Amino acid sequence: MNEIFKEKLNILANDEFLLKAIKSVFYEVIEKEKPKINETSSNGLLGEQYRAYETSKQIIDKAFIKIQESKQGNQTSKNFNKER
């Protein structure tokens, strides 16, 4: 990832309100795509759709964790430099 992206992600990681707002938009879109049960849906198809739905939530969670880790990484290096 290039340095400009890392800087911008660091800014995002330091703004908890903005981070929550963006995350809520992702979850709102996912909820609209939640599998719907109808008479023509087979159990296999519903299982695949539900698994995809849950996987998409996990992917988003992992992405936001990675963004938050970038914040923690910068704080650690700053603390290390202060100890010198």
- The mean predicted confidence, pLDDT, of the chain is 84
Helix, strand or coil for residue 35? coil
- What distance in Å separates the CA atoms of residue 38 and residue 45, rounded to the nearest whole number? 11
The structural domain count of the chain equals 1
Phi, psi of 37 (to 5 degrees): -90, 125
Range of the domain at 53: 3-83
Average pLDDT on 22-49 reads: 90
Query: Chain centroid to CA 3: how far?
Result: 20
Q: What pLDDT score does 72 carry? A: 56
Least confident piece of the model among 12-21, 34-43, 74-83: 74-83
- What distance in Å separates the CA atoms of residue 15 and residue 26, rounded to the nearest whole number? 17
Q: How many CB atoms lie under 10 A from the CB of residue 13?
A: 21
Average pLDDT on 45-73 reads: 89
Residues 6 or more apart whose CB falls under 8 angstroms from that of 30 comprise 53, 56, 57, 60
